[in-house]
Structures are given as C-alpha cells and as structure tokens.
Amino acid sequence: MSKVRAEEYTDKSGTGAPNFSKGIVVSTGSSAGIGSTFPDRTLHVAQANSTAYSSTDFDQKYHVLKLQNFTDDKSVGLQFKIGTNGEAAITAQESSNGETQLMFGTRGSGSRAERVRITSDGRLGIGTDNPLNLTVHDVGVTTFRISTAGVLAYDHTFNGTTYTIANNNSGAGVPIIFGSKTSGGESARFNASGNLAFPNGQGVDLSATAGANATSSLLDDYEEGTWTPTFAGGTSAGTYAIGSAVGRYTKIGNLIHAHFKLENIETFSAGTGNIEISGLPYVSDLEQVSGNMVLDNFNLPTGTSNLAFRIANDQSKFTIIMTIDNLPDQTLTVTDKVDNAADIQGTISYLTDS
C-alpha cells in the first residue's frame, strides 16, 4: 500500500534520518493518520501520553484534538452530518472574557435546536438555555429543577393544570410540598417534623411546624389524644368521686375508638336513672351500639348474656345496655352499682361527622 508521508526530521541540517513516529500518513484508501502509521479510520489521531488528568487545566496534550477560534467572545465546535437531513452539533461559546459554556444540539422533526447546555459555572440544563443549577424541561410539559439554593422542584402539566412537587426553602428541616401550581392550591406536604399533612378547609396549619394531626378531605386524618370520662345518672346526675379516670382515643377519618377506665366510683350523693359516661372527644353521628367492657361490683339481672355501649345521635356521652334472655334490652342504672369499689373499663367505637 503506497503512502504519502509528511515527516518531521530529527536533524534539520540534513544529516539525520526521518522520524517516522510523527507526522501525517495518508493511505490510498483515503485514510489519514496523525500519530498513527497505519490509520484504520478516515481520520485516525493517536499518541502515547502519560500526563495525569487535570480537572482545572484543559491545555493538556492528552487532548488529542484541539479546535480554536482566534476571535474573542465567539464560538467553536463540531458539526455532525448524516445523509441529507441527519444533523447534530457540539459548540463551545465564550459568552464573555474567560466565561465559556458548552451546548449540544440535535435536529428533530426537521428543526435544529439546542437540547443540553452546561454553563460556565457548571449548571446543567436539559431543554433550557438558562438552567438554575439543574433544570430539565420537556417542551413546556414537565420540568425538573434543582436551584442554586438547593431547592428541588418537579412540575408536570396535565389537562391544562400544572402540578408540582417542591422543596421550596433552603436549609435543613423544610417541607416537601405537593400541589397544583396553576391554581395555587397545595394538596399535601411532608412538614419539617416528617409528618404528612393535608388541607381540608378546617384551618389546619400547613407550615413547617404543623403538627401530627393534620386532616384531609382526600385521605382521612389520623389523630390520637386523651379524654376524661365522667360517671353520672341520666335523670339526676348525683355526685361521684372517681379514684382514677383515664381516657384515650384514636381517630381515623370519621371513626373514633375511645378507651376508658373508671376505678373506685364512690357515691357522695346518689343520682337517679341510667348510668351515663360522658366526656368523649367528638360527638356522634347517628345512634350506634358497640364496644366491650369489664364491670366490677355491679349487680346484673339474671339471664344477662351481653353488654354493650349505646350512644345517641349528636352526643358525647353513652349508656350501658344489657341483652337479657327472653326480654328486651335493658339499660344499666346508677342503682346497679353495688359499692364504692365499683369499676368500669371498656372501649367504644363510633362514627362522627367532625
């Protein structure tokens, strides 16, 4: 295979032999080699270089290809052509003295456009020429961005409404927000304490300090708390001293589970009528019967087979009903308490509209 060699000579005076390790080799097959004696591509650039990589000095000889524009504040780059319509480009632009950014462009649907940009200060933009640290933009539909302040945001447009997920503050302990950016409405957030909060028009605090009991019209709320059970007669209350009164509740949506314990119910002035236990944290919705209990020192009628709690509509108090063999249900009265060592412990579940 014949070649044309343009060589550098080791001895310019003409006494030295040619140095075939350098120069340009052009083969008859239209292959050109720079630093390669036997080029195997249209242009084959090769070198042996052991210089260590530098992330701050680009003027290193291990960069085997160097493109230069001698005019300041202009551009230099590579164009790629495929057939008649395939096209792409990589361009470096000096936007001002010493400030250089890198752009990647492609041709799609017959239109040429920049697709990716790395700015001179290292910001990365996909689909935008003005990235805020990291910005991904998809033809006006979806945007993902991380700003210079560390703000993370994701926007998505669907049926004309833009929804967003965003950490809209810098620093530690800030909320992650979910909502509709177009309408300005916030749907939910993880607050600074790690709690998931939902707005429902009930004055719920959705700031970074919102509590654990945030509520929702979309996903029902969860709440825990305490309440103080009291013992009294339904016809006349009477006066009773309770050795220990403990109440706990859990609210999941509109369902309340309320546990209580009344120990050593001492009578000072006896009431009359049905036993009423009051102080529930939420009023009821509809009349309901539920629960289980343990009674100490109460007199129950012969044939009693079941005990339950009954709560009327729109009430925060309840009674104790008994199922008696071959008789209609009956309600436990204050006179069924035997002595001052009487105890009641149980759990009632009921629905509320609060």
In the numeric block, the tokens 């006349």 are attached to 236
Q: Could you tell me which of 159, 163, 198 has the C-alpha nearest to residue 184?
A: 163
Q: Could you report the per-residue pLDDT of 193-251, keeping only the tens digit for each?
A: 666 666 653 334 444 344 444 444 434 578 999 999 999 999 999 999 999 999 999 99
User: How buried is residue 337: exposed, middle or buried, by Cβ count under 10 Å (0-12/13-18/19+)?
Assistant: buried
Which token pair is 77? 């780059």
Give the pLDDT of residue 216.
42
Give the pLDDT of residue 224.
92
- What's the mean pLDDT in 96-114? 91
Host H or E run for residue 350: strand 343-351
Give the pLDDT of residue 2.
47
Give the pLDDT of residue 206.
44
Residue 16 scores a pLDDT above 90:
no
Which token pair is 129? 């020429």
User: Which residues are CB-neighbours of 302 under 8 A, at least 6 positions away?
Assistant: none
Give the pLDDT of residue 198.
64
Distance CA 28, CA 271 (A): 118
Residue 276 scores a pLDDT above 90:
yes
Most confident of 54-58, 154-158, 268-272: 268-272
Which token pair is 148? 């210079």
Q: Could you report the per-residue pLDDT of 36-86, keeping only the tens digit for each?
A: 888 888 889 999 999 999 988 989 999 999 999 999 999 999 999 999 889
User: How buried is residue 135: exposed, middle or buried, by Cβ count under 10 Å (0-12/13-18/19+)?
Assistant: buried
